[in-house]
């Protein structure tokens, strides 16, 4: 027996694997970063959305490209006049055994609207309901302040999932985030352990009995998948970007669009940037490929449109001239507009590194003095600012209205097209109007598109059926292991 034990210890030392590292039947091991929180309405990071995407089932799924809505927790989301909306719910329970009712949603949304959470603007600025009630346990009734066809898209936001009565009563949001209780196909077994992870157990429709979530550094997780000690890594660092294509076959890695994009917003009310010719000159002076390969570490794509792929109603039919890098043309436009020279580009939290690379490139390309500075807390800006926009919904209305607001752009025709798109009766009509609004922004250019975010994942040979969505990344509930 002692000899057998010694041999077993030597075998583990040679392979570098522990018992928890070995593949277990029916168990999927997943490497992720530490989520910022597991409170769904306050999520803006990929890791948190991946976990809560398994713990909760949203009312519906929404595909911005097709305008298609697929009911999930909802049986239907309908309206006859686009002002009064009715949501019928499928029977469901929370993981604590309590029923999910219309009141669960109404009370959760009231809590979200009152808080300063990431998803609060979805309710207060986008949905803008005058009244939300629960006339029956399986029925939510909404009355809007104007006709809107975007309600199914907005209610599909992953942050608007219901919370159980226990936390709505206690208001212990921090405690709940450590042991969240959802209505989805997996429950969190034993709570969340910061720095380590957690275990999901199947309670509904899912292809694996158990999902083991391991918190760690993406480079180490990538290597663990190569070594066969981890099934799935949900992030690929920049220094592994090129190797990914050779280390893993085409059927063992994926790239998907994230609901995130970067822009250069101009203060259109400032006389120095009031001329669209100046704004186009700056846009043509941006080397987007240098940002992608440099400080953004291959985690983005250079912009090819104003709307990123995760938020776009179909493919663009025309090119995006302001998305091009053409230093000579940019200099010529600034000279044509008699731009006096000199500009400060302001940046917010987390954007300093790529903003500084941006300004160095602008100075070199346009031969004007450009500096970078942190945005002040108050007062109007006298120069452009970089924006790192993280979306809470897949509706183009959210992004287009945000970009106009950030730049102070208030053109009446643009506002009218945006309002008409919001009120449109069909996805096709809305898509056409959103494209008109996008084209106008590209012409007037209060904001210049720079990049759109994307995610990467790699997996071992035992993993099958990996699909991705912009908000969750890999859909854990659909992954199978052999």
pLDDT in tens, 211-227: 999 999 999 999 999 99
The phi, psi pair for 5, rounded to 5°, reads -65, -40
Strand 139-144 to strand 197-202: parallel, antiparallel, or no bridges (unpaired)?
A: unpaired
Instruction: Give dist(CA 442, CA 431) in Å, integer.
Output: 16
Instruction: Give dist(CA 60, CA 43) in Å, integer.
Output: 18
Strand 74-79 to strand 253-265: parallel, antiparallel, or no bridges (unpaired)?
A: unpaired
Q: Does the structure show a pLDDT above 80 at 11?
A: no
Half-sphere exposure of 202 (CA within 13 A, CB side): 16
- 135 pLDDT band (50/70/90 cuts)? very high
CA dihedral 19, 22, 23, 29 (to 10 degrees): 80
Tell me how far CA of residue 116 lies from CA of 109, 123, 253, 379, in angstroms. 12, 12, 37, 22
pLDDT for the residue numbered 315: 67
- Please state which of the ranges 58-67, 202-211, 253-262, 410-419 shows the lowest mean pLDDT: 58-67
pLDDT for the residue numbered 25: 81
- 274 pLDDT band (50/70/90 cuts)? very high
Nearest to 284 by CA among 450, 441, 452: 450
Strand 370-374 to strand 343-347: parallel, antiparallel, or no bridges (unpaired)?
A: parallel
Q: Does the structure show a pLDDT above 60 at 453?
A: yes
Q: What is the mean pLDDT of residues 145-156?
A: 95
Other CB atoms within 10 Å distance of the CB of residue 243: 13
Instruction: Give dist(CA 391, CA 125) in Å, integer.
Output: 13
Largest CA distance in the chain: 88
Which tokens go with 347? 């940046």
How does DSSP classify residue 309? Answer: G
Between 425 and 458, the higher pLDDT residue: 458
Contact call for residues 345 and 384 (beta carbons, < 8 A) = yes
- DSSP states of 112-137: HHHTT-TTHHIIIIII-EEEEEEEET
Report the chain's mean pLDDT, rounded to a whole number.
93
Instruction: Give dist(CA 215, CA 317) in Å, integer.
Output: 42
Q: Does the structure show a pLDDT above 90 at 379?
A: no
Q: Does the structure show a pLDDT above 80 at 3?
A: no
pLDDT for the residue numbered 380: 87
- Please state which of the ranges 11-20, 202-211, 257-266 shows the lowest mean pLDDT: 11-20
pLDDT for the residue numbered 312: 83
pLDDT digits (tens, 9 = 90+) for 329-345: 999 999 999 998 889 99
**Ramachandran region of residue 461, left (φ > 0), alpha (ψ -120 to 50) or beta?**
alpha
pLDDT for the residue numbered 270: 95
Which tokens go with 376? 């002040």
pLDDT for the residue numbered 70: 92
- 316 pLDDT band (50/70/90 cuts)? low
Domains, the chain, with CATH or none: 22-55+184-231+460-481 (3.40.190.10), 60-167 (3.90.76.10), 257-454 (3.10.105.10)
Instruction: Give dist(CA 178, CA 193) in Å, integer.
Output: 8
Which tokens go with 115? 């808080």
Between 315 and 171, the higher pLDDT residue: 171
Q: Does the structure show a pLDDT above 70 at 139?
A: yes
Q: Does the structure show a pLDDT above 90 at 361?
A: yes
Other CB atoms within 10 Å distance of the CB of residue 205: 11
pLDDT for the residue numbered 14: 34
If 0-12 CB within 10 Å is exposed, 13-18 middle and 19+ buried, where does residue 309 land? buried
- State the Cα angle at 281 between 378 and 356, rounded to 5°: 50
Between 138 and 18, the higher pLDDT residue: 138
pLDDT for the residue numbered 21: 56
- 12 pLDDT band (50/70/90 cuts)? very low
pLDDT for the residue numbered 63: 86
Half-sphere exposure of 286 (CA within 13 A, CB side): 30
Half-sphere exposure of 360 (CA within 13 A, CB side): 10
pLDDT digits (tens, 9 = 90+) for 71-89: 999 999 999 999 999 999 9
Please give the share of the chain, as a percent, with pLDDT higher than 90.
Answer: 87
pLDDT for the residue numbered 19: 39
pLDDT for the residue numbered 371: 96
Nearest to 182 by CA among 210, 162, 205: 162
User: Euclidean distance between the first and final Cα of the chain, in Å?
Assistant: 32
Between 163 and 425, the higher pLDDT residue: 163
Q: What is the mean pLDDT of residues 98-122?
A: 97
pLDDT digits (tens, 9 = 90+) for 289-312: 999 999 999 999 999 999 999 988
Q: Three-state DSSP class for 479?
A: coil
E strands, 137-278, are: 139-144, 186-193, 197-202, 210-215, 232-233, 253-265
Which residues, at least 6 apart from 291, have a Cβ–Cβ distance to it below 8 Å? 262, 300, 302, 354, 357, 358, 361, 450, 451
Q: Does the structure show a pLDDT above 60 at 7?
A: no
């Amino acid at each position: 027996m002692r000899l057998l034990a010694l041999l077993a210890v030597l075998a583990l030392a040679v392979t570098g694997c522990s018992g928890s590292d070995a593949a277990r039947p029916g168990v999927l091991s997943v490497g992720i970063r530490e989520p910022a929180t597991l409170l769904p309405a306050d999520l803006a990071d990929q890791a948190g959305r991946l976990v809560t995407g398994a713990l909760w089932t949203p009312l519906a799924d929404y595909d911005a490209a097709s305008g298609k809505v697929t009911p999930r927790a909802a049986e239907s989301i309908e309206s006859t006049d686009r002002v009064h909306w009715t949501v019928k719910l499928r029977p469901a329970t929370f993981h604590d055994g309590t029923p999910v009712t219309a009141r669960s949603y109404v009370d959760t949304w009231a809590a979200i609207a009152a808080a300063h959470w990431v998803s609060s603007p979805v309710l207060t600025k986008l949905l803008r309901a005058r009244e939300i009630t629960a006339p029956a346990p399986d029925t939510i009734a909404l009355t809007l302040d104007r006709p809107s066809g975007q309600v199914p898209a907005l209610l599909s936001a992953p942050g608007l999932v219901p919370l159980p009565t226990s936390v709505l009563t206690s208001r212990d949001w921090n405690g709940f985030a450590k042991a969240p209780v959802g209505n989805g196909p997996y429950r969190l077994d034993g709570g969340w352990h910061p720095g380590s992870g957690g275990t999901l157990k199947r309670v509904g429709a899912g292809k694996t009995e158990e999902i083991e979530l391991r918190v760690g550094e993406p480079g180490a997780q990538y290597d663990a998948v190569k070594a066969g000690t981890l099934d799935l890594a949900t992030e690929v660092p920049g220094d592994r970007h090129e190797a990914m294509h050779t280390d893993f076959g085409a059927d063992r890695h994926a790239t998907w669009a994230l609901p995130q994009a970067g822009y250069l917003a101009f203060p259109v009310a400032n006389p120095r940037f009031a001329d669209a010719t100046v704004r186009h000159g700056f846009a043509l002076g941006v080397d987007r490929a240098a940002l992608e390969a440099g400080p953004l570490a291959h985690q983005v794509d250079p912009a090819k449109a104003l709307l990123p792929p995760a938020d776009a109603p179909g493919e663009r039919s025309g090119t995006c001239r302001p998305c091009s890098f053409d230093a000579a043309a940019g200099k010529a436009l600034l000279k044509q507009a008699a731009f006096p020279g000199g500009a400060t580009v302001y940046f917010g939290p987390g954007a300093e590194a790529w903003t500084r690379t941006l300004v160095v490139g602008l100075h070199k390309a346009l031969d004007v003095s450009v500096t970078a500075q942190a945005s002040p807390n108050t007062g109007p800006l006298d120069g452009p600012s970089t924006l790192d926009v993280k979306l809470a919904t897949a509706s183009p209305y959210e992004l287009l209205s945000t970009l106009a607001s950030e730049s102070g752009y208030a053109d009446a025709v643009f506002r009218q097209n945006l309002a008409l798109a919001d009120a449109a009766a069909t996805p096709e009509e809305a898509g056409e109007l959103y494209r008109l609004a996008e084209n106008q922004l590209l012409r007037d250019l209060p904001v210049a598109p720079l990049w759109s975010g994307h995610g990467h994942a790699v997996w071992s040979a035992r993993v099958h059926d990996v699909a991705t969505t912009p908000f969750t990344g890999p859909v854990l509930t659909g992954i199978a292991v052999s």
